[in-house]
Structure 1
Amino acid sequence: MRVWIDMTASAHVLVFRPLIEIIRGRGDEVEITARDYAQTLQLLELHGLTADVIGKHGGRSRLQKARRMAGRLDSLRRWAKGRDFDVALAHGSHELTLTARRLGIPSSDTFDYEFATLQHQLGCRAATKVVVPEAIPPDRLVKYGVRPPKLVQYPGLKEEYYLADFEPDASLPARFGVDPARVLVVLRPPPDVSLYHRQSNPLFPMTLEHLGRLEDVHAFVLPRTEEQREYVRSLDLPSLILPERAVDAQSLIALADLVVSAGGTMNREAAALGVPVYTTYGGRLGGVDEDLIRQGRLRPLTDPRALDLHKRTAGTETRVRRDPAELLELLLSALS
């Protein structure tokens, strides 16, 4: 079996890493394409994965996004044609499912945020199967042309599957000068180049300013883009730590006392690892985050002064681990 996987954002590397290991462990072949965006390429290198790099993110401009998408679709079609793929897998890459449909390749699209409307209108309609968490109400997907049997749902969080074999690197914080006596807070800015996150989000800069001045805190910031990195650097706050490249964020989260994120993946990684987490997300909450809030595993933040800043006792967290092979089988149901 020959499998094509397209990665267009940093989180996709994490989602597909264990699935690629399983596929290759069975003796099957995987080829990867990737878009040059955020830390996607750095994370591929970090995890020892090789990809053909095709295209870049279109930035904030809708016109530029459309131009980049058209160019990438053409490039992907030329790349994939004649490679005899049996199935194509994506995490929200509508460019993969559109290309796969044009070439007659069965495809599965998976995601865990249902309100990226344009992305899903394109990607879901072109996909053979759409695989999402059970926490997403099926009626929210009907407008994308998704109903059973095309719709396949799985229990829990995707992070509980791809982090199942994960154990943190305990030496990581010290390598960045983290003081073990201080409260370690991991911070992730909003995805502010995404069309679904157009709302201004003043809460996150407020949180940076608040934590960056506290002497008993080390706030480790994981920016998405170089523009965000330069903004954080310009604040020149004494308690902020800013890495120059992609790091093992999952180890940082697992070893943190607290996580504050304006995006989805890092919030859910913290929840899967049993670490206290707050969201400053400025868009409409999806079904997964709504469910985590109901369970008390995710807390909305409205004022940074409300953060519960204290050292966490190691080993008290409750982790949920799920078999990634089960998620892979659902994705490969596109073949049936």
Structure 2
Amino acid sequence: MRIWIDVMTPKQARVFSQVYRAARSRGHEVLLTTRLHGETTQILSMEGVPHVSVGRHGGRELLSKLKAYARRALDLVDLVTEFGPDVLMSLSSPEAVRVAFGLGVRVISLNDTPHSVHVGKLTLPLTDRLVYPAAVPAHRWLSLGARAETLRPYYGVDEVSWVLPALGRLRGRRREGDLAVVRPEESHAAYLTGAVGQASVVEPCLEFLLDRGYRVVLLPRYDDQGEYFRRRYGDRVVIPDRAVDPVPLYSTADVVISGGGTMSREAAMFGTPAISLFPLEDPLYVDVFLASLGLPIFRSRDPRDALTLLMRIVRDPDGFRVDPLPALSALENPVEV
């Protein structure tokens, strides 16, 4: 079988690196395309996954997003036509799904973000199979145009596919003490247009950690975020020049603070307390699911409430840590669904 995989974001680079390896091990031919967007291509390179970069992220503005979408879709057509895929796999990539539909290629989408309404409306009506965490109510997908017969829920979260193998390698590493990992929000995403201002939602927590003498590793999503935090905090924070694998940090950090969802879920699945400051009112069903399993993931849309929780965590980090294996052992891996 010829499989086309399209990767749009750093999180997708993680999960589809696992899909790529699984497909190749079963003898399938794979074309993996991506775009210039944050650390996406760097993560694919770190994972050793061959890829072809086509186009780039459209930035913050709606017009630039539309133009980037149109250009990338056109650029994908000839490349994909030459490869001749039997199926497309993506995390609801608007350009790839549209191209696949136009070429009569079957579409399989992974998706755990019903709050990404624009992407959902563009892709789910054209999707032949939607693989999603069962924690997300089916009606959320149906409201975005998915057809009931395409739905394939699984008992787990996307992060299982790469966290479980890493947990086996890294579990039991010594904690460094007074180490925190911080990730700003996804400020360029369409679903956050107009929802965040200039200052980052993670800053009150970041400043508290610095005042407490914590060594903070800050992982910006974009160059402009990196410039902002370097200008504002200088050498008080550690900001890598290139993409780094944050997973080894989770086993040694006291706490993880994220403006999104993926990194907080990764950390909680290592048993490390994590606070998500995802700014939208929309529920993060997968986070609620992991919390229901006893994993230490907490959600706060108000930075002041998050700060209060963080104060409790740093007073007794070990009191918030858990052994994650009993909870994770029962989860399905989406790569195997």
Measured at CA, do residues 249 and 321 of structure 1 come closer, stay the same or move farther in structure 2, by a change above 3 Å?
A: farther
One-letter amino acid of the counterpart of residue 186, structure 1: V
- Give the paired residue count: 321
Confirm whether residue 186 of structure 1 aligns to residue 181 of structure 2.
Answer: yes
Confirm whether residue 80 of structure 1 aligns to residue 73 of structure 2.
Answer: no
Which has the larger helix fraction? 2
Choose which of 269, 272, 275 in structure 1 pairs with 2:269: 272
Name the SS of the counterpart of 1:212 in structure 2: helix
One-letter amino acid of the counterpart of residue 300, structure 1: R
One-letter amino acid of the counterpart of residue 276, structure 1: P
Alpha-carbon separation, structure 2, partners of 1:313 and 1:207 = 19
Alpha-carbon separation, structure 2, partners of 1:155 and 1:316 = 21
Unaligned runs of 5+ in 2: none
Offset, 1:12: 0.9
- Between 43-52 and 139-148, the greater mean CA deviation after superposition: 139-148
- Which residue of structure 2 aligns with residue 299 of structure 1? 298
- Which residue of structure 2 aligns with residue 214 of structure 1? 212
Contact 2:90 2:108 in 1 (8 A): yes
Alpha-carbon separation, structure 2, partners of 1:315 and 1:145 = 40
Alpha-carbon separation, structure 2, partners of 1:136 and 1:9 = 21
- Between 278-287 and 312-321, the greater mean CA deviation after superposition: 312-321
Choose which of 223, 246, 257 in structure 1 pairs with 2:254: 257
Contact 1:3 1:86 in 2 (8 A): yes
Confirm whether residue 200 of structure 1 aligns to residue 206 of structure 2.
Answer: no
Alpha-carbon separation, structure 2, partners of 1:243 and 1:80 = 35
Alpha-carbon separation, structure 2, partners of 1:13 and 1:132 = 17
Measured at CA, do residues 200 and 265 of structure 1 come closer, stay the same or move farther in structure 2, by a change above 3 Å?
A: same
Contact 2:125 2:147 in 1 (8 A): no
Offset, 1:281: 0.9
Unaligned runs of 5+ in 1: 331-336
Name the SS of the counterpart of 2:207 in structure 1: helix
- Between 58-67 and 228-237, the greater mean CA deviation after superposition: 228-237
- Which residue of structure 2 aligns with residue 333 of structure 1? none
Measured at CA, do residues 169 and 209 of structure 1 come closer, stay the same or move farther in structure 2, by a change above 3 Å?
A: farther
- Between 62-71 and 280-289, the greater mean CA deviation after superposition: 280-289
Measured at CA, do residues 237 and 312 of structure 1 come closer, stay the same or move farther in structure 2, by a change above 3 Å?
A: farther
Offset, 1:167: 4.1
Offset, 1:203: 3.2
Alpha-carbon separation, structure 2, partners of 1:306 and 1:260 = 11
TM-score normalised per structure 2: 0.88
Offset, 1:315: 9.2
Name the SS of the counterpart of 2:82 in structure 1: coil
Name the SS of the counterpart of 1:163 in structure 2: helix
Offset, 1:168: 7.6
Confirm whether residue 246 of structure 1 aligns to residue 243 of structure 2.
Answer: yes
Contact 1:157 1:272 in 2 (8 A): no
Offset, 1:264: 1.3
Contact 1:213 1:238 in 2 (8 A): no
1:127-206 equivalence runs, <5 A: 127-167=127-167, 180=176, 182-198=177-193, 199-200=195-196, 202-206=200-204
1:37-56 equivalence runs, <5 A: 37-56=37-56
Contact 2:167 2:270 in 1 (8 A): no
Alpha-carbon separation, structure 2, partners of 1:237 and 1:296 = 37
Measured at CA, do residues 18 and 323 of structure 1 come closer, stay the same or move farther in structure 2, by a change above 3 Å?
A: farther
Offset, 1:21: 1.3
Measured at CA, do residues 209 and 4 of structure 1 come closer, stay the same or move farther in structure 2, by a change above 3 Å?
A: same
Offset, 1:111: 1.4
Offset, 1:223: 0.6
Measured at CA, do residues 237 and 35 of structure 1 come closer, stay the same or move farther in structure 2, by a change above 3 Å?
A: same
Alpha-carbon separation, structure 1, partners of 2:138 and 2:252 = 35
Offset, 1:311: 4.6
Alpha-carbon separation, structure 1, partners of 2:187 and 2:201 = 13
- Which residue of structure 2 aligns with residue 334 of structure 1? none
Name the SS of the counterpart of 1:66 in structure 2: helix
CA RMSD in angstroms, aligned pairs only: 2.5
Offset, 1:328: 3.3
Measured at CA, do residues 9 and 155 of structure 1 come closer, stay the same or move farther in structure 2, by a change above 3 Å?
A: same
Deviations 1:100-139 (A, max 9, x none): 1111111111111101111010111111111110000011
Confirm whether residue 234 of structure 1 aligns to residue 231 of structure 2.
Answer: yes
Offset, 1:197: 1.6
Identity of aligned residues (%): 28
